[in-house]
Structure 1
């Protein structure tokens, strides 16, 4: 198990950031492979010690991750990561529309990609990385990011697309696009265009990945024992439909994927604190 320490953002940032996370692990004599199937998370990750190595599924080429990497929503198993050495990672987990709201560019540009943070967000990312590395603990690192993102958050208006993405996430994709468009007071085509621009994929594709991730969670946490029960609980038509989706989104069967993911499975350590002030942390 890989422990994940997590702290929640302030109320000001909560529409844009789900959590700040820290992963610390030493694997001096071991290299662990972690498959990365389809997932909805968008995040900016800083490597404060050794870095991940990334293996491209199609070519087999292995590259070292940049010091800060910006990862968009992934619709299939594009890469695996190789974990080794002294790992200390700090991650900003964005809400579905959080990155787009804070930084402006269409999130669709990040879909199925992982880019050096500095290439997208500019040289300030390197300065933030230096401050994060010097900070004493997770709370201090979270405060650094709060101070960085707060001015951007203050400039944002309430967004019906952000609400719709949160609603779809909460229901694991089990909601009709037409119903969301109606609730957002938008035409269906307009809703789909705005959703794709803000989230990175169409509403239907986003729901597809959410359903897949829910099936993984149900099995990993033992909520449902058999795969037929998992398929039903996750909202698939039947087990055959679920198996087809696993092949499309992870390149493997459910059983083989779960076995491959087991050695690098993460476990969340209880929240170490939060930043609930309405003011930017560190102000």
Structure 2
């Protein structure tokens, strides 16, 4: 299993967190994997065999081979059908809205083919170029040329949205939205409207995701002794609050999560993030 991340060009660094590639040989039998919310939107290209995404315990869809995965507020379960070879762009929470015209919230909790978001012929041409490119470096150049051609005025990155996201991220989601807007209901409503337009989920929900991500990384990389320690260091009110949020966003409880072979991929990603 080979997972790599690469940094974007300076012209796109304020919008794109990283590029990533994942390759898993067909002979490695990868079990169904649990993908949990991380607050980012991704454009992904499947270069290997098909990938299933389960819509229930037994039903699944085949993911589009060139798609955008919007904000997810619940776990996704995916399963390779053979050789995995993927190339993707991970956008900051406010990043992808700068390239499309439709409301970003319409992309939430699903895969959208890129042909539904951009001119169909341009999307098909981009996909073919990505598929036929000889290496990742060339793919990055191709996708950056495409994105720069679609980029709207950079001033559309709302400063209030960005500063709120920065605050939530730096404080692991523990800062309340009321503190950020200084308890002014008008400011809060305005911020929520801007988040709906540019991020796709509310600031409160994004803060909850950031807090969970901090706890997950601690669990997977530092192996703390007990849940109380995780709850305390991740600034949850108490262990019960931690378990409630954890189950809501991952679909399982923390103890089961630690022994879950469905988290192999997420563990690998967190180790490189």
Both structures adopt the same fold (TM-score exceeding 0.5): yes
* Equivalent position of 1:279 in the other structure: none
- Name the structure 1 match of 2:25: 26
CA contact (8 A) 1:13 1:153 kept: no
Q: Which residue pairs with 1:12 in the alignment?
A: 11
The answer (yes or no) to whether the contact 1:18–1:95 under 8 Å persists in 2 is: yes
Are residue 86 (structure 1) and residue 83 (structure 2) matched? yes
Name the SS for the 1:266 alignment partner.
helix
Note the 1:98-177 alignment, pairs <5 A.
98-123=95-120, 124-153=122-151, 155-157=153-155, 158-160=157-159, 161-177=161-177
Q: Identify the residue that residue 73 of structure 1 maps to in structure 2.
A: 71
What's the RMSD between the two structures over aligned residues? 2.2
Note the 1:175-214 alignment, pairs <5 A: 175-181=175-181, 187-214=187-214
- Unmatched 5+ stretches in structure 2: none
Structure with greater helix percent: 2
CA deviation map 1:78-125 (0-9, x unaligned): x31112411110001011111112213221111222222222233222
Per the alignment, residue 252 of structure 1 pairs with 252
Provide the rounded CA distance (Å) in 1 between the counterparts of 2:270 and 2:172: 20
The TM-score, its normalising length taken from structure 2, stands at 0.88
Bigger drift between 94-103 and 167-176 goes to 167-176
Query: Secondary structure of 2:49's match?
Result: coil
Q: Quick one: distance in 2 between partners of 1:219 and 1:26?
A: 28
Contact 1:6 1:269 (8 Å CA) reproduced = no
More strand by share: 1
Cα separation, 2, equivalents of 1:89 and 1:62: 19
How many residues were matched structurally? 265
Q: Distance in 2 between matches of 1:130 and 1:166?
A: 36
Match of 2:264 in 1: 263
* C-alpha distance in 2 between matches for 1:171 and 1:3: 31
Decide which moves more: 205-214 or 100-109: 100-109
TM-score by length of structure 1 reads 0.85
Distance in 1 separating the partners of 2:179 and 2:22: 38
Give distance in 2, aligned partners of 1:267 and 1:112. 20
Equivalent residues of 1:8, 1:20 under 8 A apart: yes
Match of 1:103, SS state, is coil
How far does the alpha carbon of each residue in 1:39-63 deviate from its partner, in whole angstroms, 9 at most, with x for none? 3121010001212111113x63122
* CA gap 1:236/1:46 in 2 versus in 1, 3 angstroms: same
